[in-house]
Chain A
Amino acid sequence: DTGVSQDPRHKITKRGQNVTFRCDPISEHNRLYWYRQTLGQGPEFLTYFQNEAQLEKSRLLSDRFSAERPKGSFSTLEIQRTEQGDSAMYLCASSLRSQGHEQFFGPGTRLTVL
Chain B
Amino acid sequence: GQQLNQSPQSMFIQEGEDVSMNCTSSSIFNTWLWYKQEPGEGPVLLIALYKAGELTSNGRLTAQFGITRKDSFLNISASIPSDVGIYFCAGRLNTGNQFYFGTGTSLTVIP
Q: Which of B31, B45, B92, B101 has a CB less than 8 Å from the CB of A43?
A: B101
| A: interface residue count bin | 20 to 34
Given known contacts A42-B88, A56-B97, is B45 in contact with A103 (CB within 8 Å)? yes
Whether A104 lies near B103 (C-beta < 8 A) is no
Q: Which of B31, B42, B96 has a CB less than 8 Å from the CB of A91?
A: B42
Interface size on B, residues (CB 8 A): 25
Q: Which of A40, A45, A102 has a CB less than 8 Å from the CB of B45?
A: A102
Whether B104 lies near A42 (C-beta < 8 A) is yes
Whether B101 lies near A44 (C-beta < 8 A) is yes
Interface status of A17 (Cβ within 8 A of chain B):
no
Interface status of A105 (Cβ within 8 A of chain B):
yes
With CB as the reference atom, state the residue of chain B lying closest to A108: B42
Whether A106 lies near B103 (C-beta < 8 A) is no
Interfacial chain A residues near B98, Cβ < 8 Å: 45, 48, 56, 58
Residues of chain B touching chain A, judged by Cβ–Cβ distance below 8 Å, are 1, 4, 31, 33, 35, 40-45, 48, 50, 88, 90, 92, 96-104
Whether B42 lies near A106 (C-beta < 8 A) is yes
Measured in the bound complex, the distance between the Cα atoms of B33 and A104 in whole Å is 11
Q: Which of A6, A31, A40, A102 has a CB less than 8 Å from the CB of B33?
A: A102
Interfacial chain A residues near B100, Cβ < 8 Å: 45
Given known contacts A101-B48, A101-B92, A102-B48, is B42 in contact with A48 (CB within 8 Å)? no
Whether A101 lies near B43 (C-beta < 8 A) is no
Measured in the bound complex, the distance between the Cα atoms of B33 and A77 in whole Å is 25
